[in-house]
Structure 1
Amino acid sequence: MTLSKLDLSIPGITCSACAGRVERALTTLPGISDIVVNPITKRAHMSLDGAKLPDIDAALTKAGYPPELVTTKLSIDGMSCASCAGRIERTLNARPDVAEAQVNLVAQTANVRHAPDLPGQTIADVVTKLGYPALVQDDAPTHQHHHEDEASLLKRRFLIALALTLPVFITEMGGHLFPAFHHWLYMNIGQQPLWIMQMILTALVLIGPGRSFFTTGIPALLRGGPEMNSLVALGAGAAFLYSAVVTLMPSLVPESSRFVYFEAAAVIVTLILMGRWLEARAKGQAGQAIRALMQLTPDTATALRDGVAVQVPVAQLHQGDLVRLAPGERVAVDGVIIEGSGTVDEAMLTGEPIPASKTIGDQVTGGTVNGMSSLTFRVTATGADTTLSRIVQMVENAQATKLPVQALVDRVTRIFVPTVIGLAVLTFILWMMFGPDLAHAVVAAVAVLIIACPCAMGLAVPVSIMVGTGRGAQLGILFRRGDALQRLAEARLVAFDKTGTLTKGHPEVTGLWTDGIGEDDALRLIAAAEAHSEHPLAAAILSAAEKRGLSLPDARDIHATAGRGLSAKVDGHDLLIGNAAALEEAGITILETLLRTEAATPVHVAIDGQHRATLALTDPIRPEAVETVRELHDLGLRTMMLSGDVQATADSVGRKVGIDEVRGGLMPDDKLRAIKEMGKGSVFVGDGINDAPALAAADTGIAIGTGTDIAIESADAVLMSGDPSGVARAIRLSRAVMRNIRENLFWAFAYNTALIPVAMGVLVPFGGPQLSPMLGAGAMALSSVFVVGNALRLRRAA
């Protein structure tokens, strides 16, 4: 499809110069003409002749003006194998107005990033025309019921097929196993009536429970995009038609080839239906962790309306509402406690088994469980804005992401089904040339069609991602992007920020030295200047002043400089508070008598241009930090600490924790440079706020969350608790997921590599067996069940 016009919103345009840069960036791309960039509306209009949105997106992003694209999520029915998913993905990505389309076979969904003027319904219609009914997610049934409904439908179809197939199987195979039974059937019923009975029952299997193989597979074959259903339809259909000809028009078939294979056609469909039923059940279990999270919030809550407690549906709660929480009750939505104190079990959020203490001003999160105290909180977020909803969305986004290893699978599955059909045709020709009769040729060709299983290949990666990311959510580890699983498994070096990561992030003033001014007077002036700062050290200084009962004067002309400190005017004095470099740059001499820092972070203070005081601040080391570093060493990883503190302070913390390499005195740019030098396999762990650039620069960034601060765009993964030991758990989990994927891929590829030649009959000239299509159908069905079942073992990982 050729799109003549494209209209993009570009929020970064602020002036005509910006518009010019956008226009020049677009002009460099081939296949674009009639470019008009409007700095007022912040939109770019263009005509396309061969250019596509991914190239436009990349060019504008590189120029610093990324376009505003939208994402549509589709719920898709009818995908049965990797060929289906690959066909949908290729069709959508071929559109010039689509930036990226990712199809998830396991979740039966597609995430499509596209131009804003492309309606989501149009995308759904494109997929539906391919033979896979699609709905925009807002209009689709909730995903949590999808696999359950699918499993129920497949179970019903399997049982009907089984009931119809058993008489066919028993009358045909029973006669082969027990000659006396064979003679009894032929004496009392006769061969022709038996074959007609088998034909009728098999036809009922094919047009009833097996109908979907034909209604989906044959149209896909005719459109030139054969998939797994096409193979089943060709195999079972060929076996049935050949047998029907032998039954109804035997004269058309050589006498030596007059055999029927109704039982093969019926059993093939029945076994594959059984495999898909078991697979759907297992896939439902794969998403169990996310469904469990979605079901955590209660349906009702006790709201205070004009001071009266009223039971209301959670959907009717709004920001600012007051909610009373009874002992043992589950929190309905996010909020801030305004009355009461107690403990709240946040295990579902952080993975921590010990309840967290809560008091007035503390946050509570929807889905957590109140302890034995009565609390009242003010609602701060509802619906999709709650922490729990964002967690679910984050995990689902990760599950929809393709790992780099998936590229190999996609290349294979793209040509797999056509190749299998070609091999089946080749098998038929060779058996006709060198085999004993037509019947053997048909059986061999059908066996090749049925034994091939791209389903297992297609499921190998996404089902492991689904289970692994779900397990991570249970452990308080949120992978924002699925590909972080693969990169984290390849980690070689883990670098930590110090403050708030290896330490508690709440420093304390442990020393104060002054020269020419009293300690209380110095602390009073310093605290007044720091009262308007959000720096962690400022809170420690204010806390120290509060403990001494000091009253603080007003400060004005406050100016902060990143990585240096701040200046202010307090009580008529000019203050400069910062590190040694800040004072030296201001031409202030550092007094050696005030350099006693006791391996703590020194904060120097100049008053009216003279160095008058130094504070020593220490940040307590987290009790879990030492164990975390030990676990990482046990996993064969090197560790590093990057800190803005002076080298002596950083070394002191590094020695206590057991870090391999410590780099102190780093400015933000130095930290970024150090991370880039680490190269491939580097992991950076930070608090997710101050360390955002470093998290983005690392090969894999892991943010230490606070339980509610999960929307950290720079990180690839988020640890919901403040416990750094989650880093080791995340790495163990990612390694388990990648090991599981390798096992699945080995099985899927080895299965096809080994059994397709056997089905073709390569062992027959050497006295080996010719594989029965029924055995092929059973093996094919079980291969998918094996892959999904193997992935489910990840529910106990880490």
Structure 2
Amino acid sequence: MSVETTPREAEFAIAGMTCASCSSRVERKLNKLDGVEASVNLATERAHVTFGEGVTVEELIEVVEKTGYSATLLSGDADGQVGDSAGVGQGAPVDVSAGMLIAPGGSVWKRLFVEPSMQTRAVVALVLAIPVVVIAMVPPVMAALGGVRPWVELLLTVPVYFWAAFPFHRSAVVNARHGGTTMDTLVSIGISAAFWWSFVATLSGGTQHMYFETAAVVTAFLLVGRSVEQKAKHRGQSALRSLLELGACEVSLLVPDGAGSYAERRAGVAELKPGMLFRVRPGEKVATDGVVVDGRSAVDASLVTGESMPVDVAGGDEVTGGTLNTSGTLVVRATRVGSETTLAAITRLVERAQTGKAPVQRLADRVSSVFVPAVLVIAVVTLLGWLGTGHLFTEALQAAVSVLVIACPCALGLATPTALLVGTGRGAELGVLIKGPEILESTRAVDTVVLDKTGTVTSGSMHVTAVETAGKLTKTAALQAAASVEAGSEHPVAVAIVEAAKERGVSPVAACDFTALPGAGARAVIKGTEVLVGKPGLFDVVPDELADVGAGVAGTTVFVGWGGKARATVTVTDEMRVSTPAGVDRLHELGLETYLLTGDNEFTAKSVAAEAGIASSNVIAGVRPEQKHAVVQRLQRQGKVVAMVGDGVNDAAALAQADLGLAMGSGTDVARESADIVLMRTEVAAVADAIGLSRRTLMIIKQNLFWAFAYNVVGIPLAAFGELDPMFAGGAMAASSVIVVMNSLRLRAYAREREAVAA
């Protein structure tokens, strides 16, 4: 029988891509391999590849190189080493200027033509292009230079054409060698036609119909545009870089000295292993995820989770790597290190979301795959059309060059990835981790948000407010019985009861045979007697004086008893988060209907809903954990598009069933795995941020795509009919990509106005 293997994943840096046609072709070539699924992102210059056992990393890299680009393995599950023969030795410098790998090692050619940056080329091109334009277009200067004017223009244009425009020519040649075309192909052909026509005319002694200024200015415009675009994309990646820089570099390890004590030693974080102890002093970053074993302090997690206020921690509390210790000294036992930490998981989620593709990008990809060949055909048709209608060759050439230069597949290719890059980065800053770009479409359609009460609407930090008894049983004895049973449970109500007993000096009695009763309570045997704690339905008899205790109380009331009879009640309340009402208001402003889901009685649930600003008609009370999934289904059958917010194991099925699942980062691993979006801030405002930011990102993507399509649909015909000068066309093409990137950068300001008001 066949054995099904788990697909492996790898992340590559792809060097040399300049437009959507490049990324589309690399993706298409990789996906032709059996068992390979690749997603190539132009904005991040990354490829995320899933592949089976029959494919090696070396084969993937070879495919990329045969396509005309270079690949560097960044991370993955791949077995074996990637040798230098593959072209990606770890740490080897990679040339990204023109679409193919340059072997390490110095040469005059490389230093002169390959290494200069886009910014340097742009400056040189501008400095030389300006006098070329003046000489070619200002009559007094033209008259003063007379017959030497073409030679002066040629002298100034040669460095621009051969040196500044070298990346365009080189990329065009490399891609042509591999049977492909890109935006650089259009640019290279366009400026080459202008330059060589003018060169031949100059050698022939002519002074009219020179286009040196076209070659120089178009090159300068495009280089300036490419430089601005690179800087803007770099700004868009700032959030991810900030995440990567959060981790500590060194740690104070506590090493056993053999005499029953510990010696402190400074070491690199890479030496940390699970179970090791380390010390964190005030002002230092927590080196990795762990549990506090000694000390008390306040930890600032704002850079990791978006929480604005420091969190108090003491013995037994968990701390997250990358957070800042603000006051006391802590001793922490490492629980997760390296790629298993919360910070590493956050970074992976953000990178995965940035590398993926939203459904709206599919049309752009299809267009990009045929864009450059189509433009080349249009340029040839334009040239022949002008010649066929009796126009001069120079007029026909000018129109054809304008078509080549104005066409811009880059704007199409950057429309989605740049918005995803900035949007997911801003989300990470706000404590919102979007698992994939396809989720953006889900947020647009959502009209209903179901909020699980405990830990979301309320703080989840419960405390006992009342103990009532029947007969001669004392409140202390009742609390002791309840705490003895609940000592075996981790439920928030149980923790509150045990803590209340501890605060009042009541010691629990040893219990055995503890059993949790999901949705009902718990049982345990104490001194030979079975004691039950939970809902009144657990008992055959509920005394009249206890029957109505929980009916008019805002809180959770549990009954305590044995022998089939309830003998006491313990009421536990959960404080409303201060930020909840404002968060619910923001959800309503987004046009969303809110529901409160809880296992509490209806009176308690409606009291919480009223305080939070949720309509009493939208309260779903008395819901058992296993019923949450059915509640979501019922709302969906009513025609609602549901977003579910939860944090526990019992929320996993509901999160998976919902059209959009949002899990609190403080919740269980099962809940986070089932969700589409992970919220590192445990508050309703984070839900509003997640949905609002996702919708804004989707809107920016659609704006970008509209602009990119409209620009080409309008610009190419205008150029073909001779309405656009090649220089103007070059400037427009450079501006089109910059506009898309700058529009995407507007997402960096999302929610800042609200934060400023709140401050």
TM (norm. structure 1) is 0.82
Which shifted more, 326-335 or 218-227? Answer: 218-227
Alignment match, 1:533: 489
Q: Which runs of 5+ in 1 are unaligned?
A: 1-35, 38-42, 45-66, 765-769
Alignment match, 1:675: 632
For 2:290 and 2:725, the matched residues in 1 are separated by 63
Q: Which of 289, 293, 298 matches 2:239?
A: 289
Alignment match, 2:417: 462
Alignment match, 1:121: 58
1:395 equivalent to 2:333? Answer no
Equivalent AA in structure 1 for residue 221 of structure 2: L
For 1:736 and 1:626, the matched residues in 2 are separated by 23
Shift in Å, 1:606: 4.6
Alignment match, 2:214: 264
Q: Secondary structure at the match of 2:117?
A: helix
CA deviation map 1:770-798 (0-9, x unaligned): 31222211111121112112222222211
For 2:482 and 2:490, the matched residues in 1 are separated by 14
1:720 equivalent to 2:680? Answer yes
Task: Please tell me whether the aligned partners of residues 323 and 378 of structure 1 are also in contact (alpha carbons under 8 angstroms).
Answer: yes
Alignment match, 2:724: 771
CA deviation map 1:650-682 (0-9, x unaligned): 222212212131111223443212223444642
Shift in Å, 1:365: 2.6
Q: Which of 34, 40, 46 matches 1:96?
A: 34
CA deviation map 1:181-216 (0-9, x unaligned): 2122225x365x457646xx43x5444342332333
Shift in Å, 1:87: 1.6
Alignment match, 2:467: 512
For 2:502 and 2:46, the matched residues in 1 are separated by 56
Equivalent AA in structure 2 for residue 323 of structure 1: F
Q: Which of 768, 776, 780 matches 2:733?
A: 780
Equivalent AA in structure 2 for residue 264 of structure 1: T
Q: Which of 335, 339, 350 matches 1:380?
A: 335
Task: Please tell me whether the aligned partners of residues 154 and 212 of structure 2 are also in contact (alpha carbons under 8 angstroms).
Answer: no
1:560 equivalent to 2:516? Answer yes
Q: Which of 379, 388, 391 matches 1:433?
A: 388
Alignment match, 2:120: 159
Alignment match, 1:63: none
Q: Secondary structure at the match of 2:461?
A: coil
Equivalent AA in structure 1 for residue 227 of structure 2: W
Task: Please tell me whether the aligned partners of residues 345 and 371 of structure 1 are also in contact (alpha carbons under 8 angstroms).
Answer: yes
For 1:275 and 1:147, the matched residues in 2 are separated by 20
1:323 equivalent to 2:278? Answer yes
Q: Secondary structure at the match of 1:118?
A: coil
CA deviation map 1:587-617 (0-9, x unaligned): x354444222024323234512334343333
Alignment match, 2:695: 735
Task: Please tell me whether the aligned partners of residues 688 and 715 of structure 1 are also in contact (alpha carbons under 8 angstroms).
Answer: no
Q: Which of 368, 371, 394 matches 2:326?
A: 371
1:279 equivalent to 2:240? Answer no
Shift in Å, 1:76: 0.3
Alignment match, 1:702: 662
For 1:445 and 1:334, the matched residues in 2 are separated by 61
Name the Cα RMSD after superposition: 3.1
Shift in Å, 1:107: 0.7
Q: Secondary structure at the match of 2:50?
A: strand
Alignment match, 2:9: 71
Q: Kindly tell me: are residues 372 and 524 of structure 1, through their superposed partners in 2, closer, same or farther at Cα, counting changes over 3 Å?
A: closer
Q: Which of 608, 622, 636 matches 1:665?
A: 622
Alignment match, 1:130: 67
Alignment match, 1:500: 455
Equivalent AA in structure 2 for residue 267 of structure 1: V
For 2:576 and 2:450, the matched residues in 1 are separated by 16
Matched ranges for 1:110-509 at <5 A: 110-138=47-75, 156-157=117-118, 159-160=120-121, 163=124, 167=128, 170-171=131-132, 173-187=133-147, 189=148, 191=150, 193-194=151-152, 197=155, 201-202=157-158, 204-221=159-176, 223-248=178-203, 259-305=209-255, 306=257, 307-509=262-464
Alignment match, 2:757: none
For 1:707 and 1:574, the matched residues in 2 are separated by 32
Q: Secondary structure at the match of 1:718?
A: strand
For 2:590 and 2:671, the matched residues in 1 are separated by 29
Q: Secondary structure at the match of 2:266?
A: strand
Task: Please tell me whether the aligned partners of residues 337 and 377 of structure 1 are also in contact (alpha carbons under 8 angstroms).
Answer: yes
Shift in Å, 1:470: 1.1
Shift in Å, 1:459: 0.8
Q: Secondary structure at the match of 1:112?
A: strand
Equivalent AA in structure 2 for residue 685 of structure 1: V
Alignment match, 2:500: 544
Task: Please tell me whether the aligned partners of residues 129 and 220 of structure 2 are also in contact (alpha carbons under 8 angstroms).
Answer: no
Q: Secondary structure at the match of 1:691?
A: helix
For 1:147 and 1:380, the matched residues in 2 are separated by 40
Shift in Å, 1:217: 2.3
Which shifted more, 574-583 or 440-449? Answer: 574-583
Shift in Å, 1:71: 1.0
For 2:301 and 2:122, the matched residues in 1 are separated by 48
For 2:40 and 2:472, the matched residues in 1 are separated by 69
Q: Kindly tell me: are residues 528 and 94 of structure 1, through their superposed partners in 2, closer, same or farther at Cα, counting changes over 3 Å?
A: same
Equivalent AA in structure 1 for residue 659 of structure 2: D
For 2:303 and 2:554, the matched residues in 1 are separated by 39
Q: Secondary structure at the match of 2:674?
A: coil
Shift in Å, 1:484: 2.7
Task: Please tell me whether the aligned partners of residues 92 and 101 of structure 1 are also in contact (alpha carbons under 8 angstroms).
Answer: yes
Shift in Å, 1:396: 0.9
Q: Kindly tell me: are residues 343 and 651 of structure 1, through their superposed partners in 2, closer, same or farther at Cα, counting changes over 3 Å?
A: same
Shift in Å, 1:101: 1.6
TM (norm. structure 2) is 0.86
CA deviation map 1:358-398 (0-9, x unaligned): 22232333322222333333333332222222222221111
Task: Please tell me whether the aligned partners of residues 626 and 650 of structure 2 are also in contact (alpha carbons under 8 angstroms).
Answer: no
Equivalent AA in structure 1 for residue 673 of structure 2: E
Q: Which runs of 5+ in 2 are unaligned?
A: 76-81, 83-87, 99-110, 752-759
Shift in Å, 1:502: 0.8
Task: Please tell me whether the aligned partners of residues 218 and 233 of structure 1 are also in contact (alpha carbons under 8 angstroms).
Answer: no
Q: Secondary structure at the match of 1:620?
A: strand
